[in-house]
């Protein structure tokens, strides 16, 4: 009798649990499996779509996945949809899903991270839009837009090898780790109009890059092999710990840094063959690393520069003797200057190989205009010191000077 009376109670408890809509993490191997989740509101754990799932998977019903949402090594799936999913507490991972062409998650706004790699046919994307994520990696997809992303803050954002991606406009205001954009569509235009603070950025193979509001780079800003003709950072005032470098940007003709006063690392400008003048640092006062300039420059000016902790190494294919003479006034006292430059000063003109030298090493021979400031008469084009140590060793030099 007691058992008979308890059965309805247990049934009621089970019903209440079902109504609460909390389900354990699971693996979906078919649409039939996915349909069984329709009554769930929360999936506690990971939701995995198996490699033999079939072509179309609809995960409608669940609103939240507390763990990861993963689809990996699946060549069958073509469409992934949900009319209900709003958040993923872990990683949203699409990896090696070479048949997937459509992701339609129109209510998804929050994830911990995104990792989409080798979704080579993915060309249709609908998100909530996405407003919260800590890290994002999108690589080797067929996407031509990232309109589903409406993030204002993110840690790491890496976009690479998306060959159809031609435009990326973002409302990001700060990025706490790194922004990496490289090897996407050849005409890619990047507009980060609201970005005012970033930790690090590495930009390559971009046709247009806009950061009109950027004020501070905490680490380094590196631009390699881009296609833009001009670059402007009208509000950038400083880098707090790192370098600024422009290497191999063959179409670059002009740059403007009207408010930049301090570079906490080094400055490297090399093999930007269309850039014939370096006159765009009117307020730059201090460089805590080394300076290396290589190119076809006819004129070089740093009117406000009064302290360089490392070496200052310049070489041009053109006649820059007047610039060399002016710059040499700031050379170390041991080289006859006023000591504003603390490392070795070298400046050479008419060096046909100037654009071939794009690494981080600097001359240690102290040449000025092709003549050696020391007594050994070596040509400055051949004298170099250790590589990436260029920027890193400056910290040691700074420490030594402080002791």
pLDDT tens-place string over residues 304-317: 999 999 999 999 99
DSSP-assigned beta bridge partners for residue 341: 308
The predicted-structure confidence for 374-387, as pLDDT tens digits, reads as follows: 333 333 333 223 23
**Is the pLDDT assigned to residue 139 strictly greater than 90?**
yes
Number of Cβ within 10 Å of residue 170's Cβ equals: 20
**What does the alpha-carbon distance between residue 395 and residue 7 come to, in Å, rounded to a whole number?**
75
- Assign 19 a pLDDT band (cuts: 50, 70, 90): very low
The predicted-structure confidence for 248-287, as pLDDT tens digits, reads as follows: 999 999 999 999 999 999 999 999 999 999 999 999 999 9
Run of H or E including 299? strand 299-300
HSE-CB at 241 with a 13 A cutoff on CA atoms is 6
Q: Where are the beta strands (DSSP E) in 38-134?
A: 42-49, 56-58, 64-65, 69-72, 79-82, 87-95, 102-105, 110-119, 124-126
* Least trusted range by pLDDT, from 1-5, 95-99, 145-149, 367-371: 1-5
* Closest by CA position to 346, among listed 360, 364, 358: 364
**3 state SS of 349:** coil
**3 state SS of 158:** strand
346 torsion bin: left (phi>0), alpha (psi -120 to 50), beta (else): beta
Q: Where are the beta strands (DSSP E) in 97-205?
A: 102-105, 110-119, 124-126, 135-141, 153-160, 167-169, 174-182, 189-191, 197-198, 201-204
Contact call for residues 33 and 56 (beta carbons, < 8 A): no
Tell the residue number behind the tokens 């070298």, with chain if given. Answer: 346
pLDDT at residue 119, rounded to an integer: 99
**Is the pLDDT assigned to residue 178 strictly greater than 60?**
yes
Q: Give backbone dihedrals phi and psi of 176, rounded to 5 degrees, phi first.
A: -85, -10
pLDDT at residue 393, rounded to an integer: 36
């Amino acid at each position: 009798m007691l058992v008979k009376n308890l059965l309805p109670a247990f049934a009621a408890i089970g019903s209440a649990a079902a109504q609460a809509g909390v389900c354990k993490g699971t693996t979906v191997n078919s649409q039939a499996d996915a349909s069984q989740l329709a009554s769930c509101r929360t999936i506690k754990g990971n939701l995995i779509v198996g490699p033999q799932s079939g072509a179309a998977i609809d995960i409608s019903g669940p609103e939240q996945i507390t763990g990861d949402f993963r689809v990996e090594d699946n060549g069958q799936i073509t469409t992934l949809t949900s009319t209900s999913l709003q958040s993923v507490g872990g990683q949203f991972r699409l990896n090696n899903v070479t048949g997937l062409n459509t992701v339609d998650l129109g209510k998804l706004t929050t994830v911990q991270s995104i990792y989409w790699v080798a979704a080579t046919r993915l060309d249709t994307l609908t998100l909530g839009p996405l407003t919260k994520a800590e890290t994002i990696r999108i690589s080797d997809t067929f996407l031509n837009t990232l309109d589903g992303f409406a993030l204002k803050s993110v840690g790491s954002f890496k976009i690479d090898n998306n060959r159809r991606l031609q435009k990326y406009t973002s409302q990001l205001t700060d990025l706490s780790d790194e922004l990496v954009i490289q090897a996407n569509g050849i005409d890619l235009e990047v507009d980060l109009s609201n970005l005012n603070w970033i930790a690090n950025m590495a930009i390559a193979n971009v046709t247009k890059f806009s950061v009109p509001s950027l004020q501070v780079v905490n680490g380094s800003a590196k631009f390699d092999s881009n296609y833009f003709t001009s670059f402007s950072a009208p509000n950038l005032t400083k880098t707090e710990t790192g370098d600024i470098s422009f290497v191999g940007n063959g179409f670059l003709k002009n740059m403007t840094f009207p408010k930049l006063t301090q570079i906490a690392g080094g400055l490297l400008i090399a093999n930007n063959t269309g850039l014939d003048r370096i006159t765009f640092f009117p307020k730059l006062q201090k460089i805590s690393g080394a300076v290396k300039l290589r190119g076809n420059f006819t004129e070089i000016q740093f009117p406000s520069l009064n302290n360089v902790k490392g070496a200052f190494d310049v070489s041009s294919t053109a006649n820059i003797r007047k610039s060399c003479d002016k710059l040499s006034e700031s050379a170390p006292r041991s080289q006859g200057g006023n000591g504003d430059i603390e490392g070795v000063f070298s400046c050479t003109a008419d060096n046909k190989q100037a654009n071939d030298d794009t690494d981080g090493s600097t001359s240690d021979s102290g040449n000025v205009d092709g003549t050696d400031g020391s007594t050994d008469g070596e040509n400055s084009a051949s004298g170099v010191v250790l590589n990436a140590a260029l920027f890193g060793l400056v910290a040691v030099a700074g420490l030594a000077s402080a002791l």
